[in-house]
Amino acid sequence: MFVLSLTRSAVLRPLEPWHAEEFFEHLGRAREHILPWVSSSFVARDVAAARVVLQRYADRRAQDGGGIWGIWLDGALVGGVLFVSFDSALGFCEAGCWLEPGAQGRGLVTRAVERIIDWAVNERGIVRVEWRVKSGNERSVAVARRLGMRHEGTLREVFPDATGERIDLEIWAMLANEWRARHNASDEEGAVKSVVKGILTA
């Protein structure tokens, strides 16, 4: 199992079905904060449901169709990043994230998403990375902006949320050539480029 450092006190590593109890405990701290923005099926209400969520992403990863990775801060699971969908044949994926309130403001999600996008673009040949955001989710939009994504449009009243209210969904995206150009520019300024080779599939 790989462990990828995000900061001195935070790491990124696979979030597996056997983490179900830890994942459920984490959701207890995060549930009310993330429920307005994520699918209600993701926010498991018991350990068995938490295991189902994690198994679903494990199955997707086994089929090369997605994946989920946890962020641990000082040894505690505080959030994570995921590929909601992943199609290497079409060169397309959709990335997402979640984080409990106590871990906000540290840049953890941005760093973690950078790692998985870097891998998708440079190792798997992904051409287009999407970031879909329910309108009003200012923190998620801020991550998209920090990553250099463009707002391509908004799907109005695209589907109902858990309350039955129809939501607007913003589409942000980054193309592979834009990602590489952005990181090459950072290299020229003396920044260290993040390159993750193969470890996300280990």
pTM for the complete prediction?
A: 0.87
Q: pLDDT tens digits, the chain, 202 residues: what are they?
A: 578 999 999 999 999 999 999 999 999 999 999 988 888 889 999 999 999 999 999 999 999 999 999 999 999 999 999 999 999 999 999 999 999 999 999 999 999 999 999 999 999 999 999 999 999 999 999 999 999 999 999 999 998 887 788 999 999 999 999 999 987 776 655 444 444 555 555 5
Planar angle of CA 36, 76, 59, nearest 5 degrees = 65
Q: What pLDDT score was predicted for residue 175?
A: 98
Token duo for residue 52: 């189902």
- C-alpha 77/C-alpha 61 separation (Å) is 20
Strand order of the sheet with strand 92-99?
A: 4-5, 10-14, 67-73, 76-87, 92-99, 128-134, 166-175, 150-160
Asked if residue 176 lies in contact with residue 128, where contact means CB atoms within 8 angstroms, the answer is yes
Task: Domain of residue 94: give its range.
Answer: 4-201
> What ranges in the chain are assigned the alpha helix state H?
20-34, 47-62, 108-124, 138-146, 176-188
Helix (H, G, I), strand (E, B) or coil at 153: strand
Q: What pLDDT score was predicted for residue 192?
A: 42
Output phi, psi for 72, to 5 deg.
-110, 130
The position carrying tokens 């983490």 is 19
Asked if residue 30 lies in contact with residue 109, where contact means CB atoms within 8 angstroms, the answer is no
DSSP 141: H
DSSP 191: P
pLDDT tens-digit series, residues 25-80? 999 999 999 988 888 889 999 999 999 999 999 999 999 999 999 999 999 999 99
- C-alpha 83/C-alpha 113 separation (Å) is 10
In angstroms, the Cα distances linking 127 to 33, 86, 88, 91, 117 are 32, 11, 9, 5, 10
- Pairing assessment for the beta strands 92-99 and 128-134 based on DSSP bridges: parallel
Counted domains in the chain: 1
CATH classification of the domain holding 143: 3.40.630.30
